[in-house]
Amino acid sequence: MSAAESSPSAAQSRSPDAAPEEATNRRPSLLNVALSVFLSLLVLGVIGYLTFDASAFWKMVGQVQPLILGAAVGVAFARIGLGGARLSYVSQGRLSLQGGTRGQLAWDFFSSVTPSVVGGGPIAAFYVARDQDITVGESAAFMFFCILLDQLWFVVAIPGLIGANFYVDLLPEAAGAVGLWSLMAYFVGLMVWAAVYAYATLFRPRLLLSIVHWCLQWPYLRKARSRVMKEMRSYVRRARTLGTQSASFYINGFLLTGVSWVARYALVVLIVQSVYLNVDALTLFLRSAAMMLVGLIMPTPGGSGGLEGLYALFVGPLIPPSLVAPTLLTWRLLGYYLFIAFGAYLFMHQIHTHAPPDSTPSPTAPSSSS
């Protein structure tokens, strides 16, 4: 990495026109947050109406295991730190642990207000770029590599889950043979996607540059061609650097990714065990993993509504009906609403912090980084 690339002058210059654009985009963002929370609470309310039994619930509350519930809270926050550590590690020190943690919170926030099939990584790249004063292309390279690590984790996890189905009751009875074959088809599709993504990111980053260039031929996108192509060239340079790293770099990054996803699965197990110790922990853990993998293709913001339904489908049969809604609410509080609150604070704080002055700044000399 060159000295110019490491200096603040390499960061993308701020345009005075950015403020109106951000103000225009703020309202849709708030609408997305409201829609996401509404869908989540709506489905949760329906599940509660169908399954909740007050007398059975209060009886179970008296048996709550505070240490296990505290461990669940600890795991929820540990996952944030693990995500920040991964971003800092992938950036090779360009992002501090604190900066990486803010980036992870922004990523989780944008994931909560965009469809699961889109994810929040590409949007969070803009937040990280402004927060750390680096180019969007460089920030996007960090995010895209983390997304690649996630894809590789899925490729490892899905075959393991399919194999585990022969030894434990992984899929609920309602899924049957159709569910198993659908999961296998999903695995094949994810394998193909991961292979293409890995190839483009590590070996042919210019392939993505060509795709973006083709997309920018569309009339509605031509105005952004100059800025986007500048950032994409920065991404290509950073992706090339990532593609030349040692095997240990990828192994360590993959291990951080794996631990982070295991923490997601363990969160469900700890929440349920805090009120119901008789649950089969291994089956619950594996079903949690399967549930979250299926949730990746939800079209709603943050998978809201769909994930609540999947929880009732995968986890519900393993616990008393009266505990489905309370444990689901606790899981979404620690794994969803928490990140909306933290992410929204960071996002709004950045908007106010980086608001441009009233006077128009003098033009900034172009960066000499290469």
pLDDT of 23 over the 50 cut: no
Does residue 316 lie within any of the structural domains?
yes
Tens digit of each residue's pLDDT (9 = 90 or more) over 342-367? 777 776 666 666 555 444 444 443 33
The pLDDT, as a whole number, for residue 353 is 65
The pLDDT, as a whole number, for residue 117 is 56
Does residue 8 lie within any of the structural domains?
no
Structural domain containing residue 335: 16-353
Residue 303: which region, alpha, beta or left (left: phi > 0; alpha: psi -120 to 50)? Answer: left
Residue 284, H or E segment = helix 281-295
Does residue 301 lie within any of the structural domains?
yes
The pLDDT, as a whole number, for residue 2 is 40
What's the mean pLDDT in 31-58? 67
Going by pLDDT thresholds of 50, 70 and 90, the confidence category of residue 20 is very low
What one-letter code names the amino acid at 337? Y
Residue 139, H or E segment = helix 136-164
- The total of structural domains in the chain comes to 1
Does residue 287 lie within any of the structural domains?
yes
pLDDT of 54 over the 60 cut: yes
Going by pLDDT thresholds of 50, 70 and 90, the confidence category of residue 13 is very low
pLDDT of 258 over the 90 cut: yes
Tens digit of each residue's pLDDT (9 = 90 or more) over 293-312? 888 877 777 677 778 888 98
The pLDDT, as a whole number, for residue 5 is 38
The Cα–Cα gap between 325 and 75 comes to: 21
CA distance from start to end of the chain: 9
Going by pLDDT thresholds of 50, 70 and 90, the confidence category of residue 219 is low
- Residue 14 burial (CB < 10 Å; 0-12/13-18/19+)? middle
Both tokens of 342, joined, read 């933290």
115 phi and psi angles, rounded to 5 deg: -55, 145
The pLDDT, as a whole number, for residue 322 is 83
In DSSP terms, 115 is beta-bridged to: 301
What's the mean pLDDT in 315-327? 88
The pLDDT, as a whole number, for residue 7 is 37
The Cα–Cα gap between 223 and 183 comes to: 42
The Cα–Cα gap between 76 and 334 comes to: 6
Tens digit of each residue's pLDDT (9 = 90 or more) over 183-204? 778 777 877 777 777 777 777 7
Going by pLDDT thresholds of 50, 70 and 90, the confidence category of residue 370 is very low
Does residue 7 lie within any of the structural domains?
no
CA triple 157-163-164, angle to 5 deg: 85
Does residue 367 lie within any of the structural domains?
no
Does residue 98 lie within any of the structural domains?
yes
Mean predicted lDDT score pLDDT of the chain: 75
pLDDT of 11 over the 70 cut: no
pLDDT of 73 over the 50 cut: yes
The Cα–Cα gap between 231 and 49 comes to: 50
Does residue 163 lie within any of the structural domains?
yes
Both tokens of 228, joined, read 């986007």
